């Protein structure tokens, strides 16, 4: 007797190649027959994901740790990036008001539920939008605010199992070196047939950062794709605060302390 279908799921974090993944998978599953209308991204809406993921061929959700017992049978891929680089990348991205929610003049935790983010205390006191606040305070204070904003993201990182036979974890550093090879690993892990994997490889190369730069010269979602940039921006104050809160997470994830 044939069992229930294997659910294909992807989990990542804001500023960890989420736009790139969506571009590839939206084209592969929603535009290319016979796999049309098969991919849906849920941002960080956990309830919507749990209510709808079994109707999707592939689902993705950001900034959440999932209860695995309720997903089976599944094959899941995860993108992981050094939390310190996520802080730096997010700070500069949010500072320029790249997305509408960062320009909301009355932000709230409820309004930011879709990103599983919390409003930093400094912003609560100052009022106004996130981008205005980050533009108005020194860089050090802005980085501390971004760290506070991402508290739920880092909590979710700590909650995932370190090893699971049905979960493929790819680090940002590995993906950035060869995006097509990383997508190939994911599609093979999903157990998809050769034609889907072959088309996915073509799309991975077409939507890669290098290809987009050749076509248009700039990608508005990407400021600096390098790893370890936190070393240039973390002041001693930011470093002490991060280590006090999340030093154990860095060691647990296997990233270098220095």
Domain ranges of the chain: 7-81+163-216, 83-154+224-253
Long-range CB pairs of 122-126 (<8 Å, 24+ gap) are none
Can you give the pLDDT at residue 215? Answer: 45
Q: Which two tokens stand for residue 135?
A: 């533009």
* Cβ pair 92, 27 in contact under 8 A: no
What share of the chain in percent tops pLDDT 90?
Answer: 81
Q: What is the mean pLDDT of residues 229-241?
A: 97
pLDDT tens figures, 145-190: 999 999 999 999 999 999 999 999 999 999 988 888 999 999 999 9
pTM for this predicted structure: 0.92
CATH H superfamily, domain 7-81+163-216:
P-loop containing nucleotide triphosphate hydrolases (3.40.50.300)
Per-residue pLDDT, 102: 97
Closest C-alpha to 229, from 62, 93, 65, 44: 93
Strands (E) across 26-108 are located at: 39-41, 58-62, 74-80
pLDDT of residue 4: 72
d(CA 203, CA 166): 24
Q: Are strands 39-41 and 74-80 parallel, antiparallel or unpaired?
A: unpaired
State the CB neighbour count (10 A cutoff) for residue 176: 17
């Amino acid at each position: 007797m044939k069992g229930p279908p294997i659910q294909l799921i992807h989990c990542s974090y804001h500023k960890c190649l989420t736009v790139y993944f969506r571009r590839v998978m939206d084209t592969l599953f929603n535009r290319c027959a016979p796999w049309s209308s098969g991919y849906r991204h849920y941002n960080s809406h956990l309830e919507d994901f749990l209510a709808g993921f079994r109707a999707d061929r592939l689902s993705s959700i950001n900034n959440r740790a999932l209860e695995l017992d309720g997903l089976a049978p599944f094959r899941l891929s995860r993108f992981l990036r050094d939390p310190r680089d996520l802080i730096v990348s997010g700070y500069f991205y949010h500072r320029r008001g790249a997305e509408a929610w960062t320009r909301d003049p009355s932000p709230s935790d409820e309004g930011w539920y879709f990103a599983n983010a919390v409003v930093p205390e400094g912003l609560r006191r100052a009022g106004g939008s996130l981008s205005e606040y980050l533009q108005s305070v020194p860089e050090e204070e802005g980085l501390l605010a971004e760290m506070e904003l991402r508290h739920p993201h880092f909590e979710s990182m700590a909650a995932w199992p370190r090893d699971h036979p049905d979960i493929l974890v790819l680090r940002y550093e590995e993906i950035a070196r060869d995006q097509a090879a990383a997508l190939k690993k994911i599609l093979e892990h999903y157990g998809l047939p050769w034609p889907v994997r072959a088309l996915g490889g073509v799309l991975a190369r077409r939507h890669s950062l290098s290809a987009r730069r050749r076509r248009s010269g700039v990608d508005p979602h990407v400021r600096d794709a390098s790893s370890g940039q936190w070393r240039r921006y973390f002041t001693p104050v930011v470093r002490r605060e991060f280590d006090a809160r999340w030093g154990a997470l860095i060691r647990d994830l296997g990233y270098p302390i220095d």
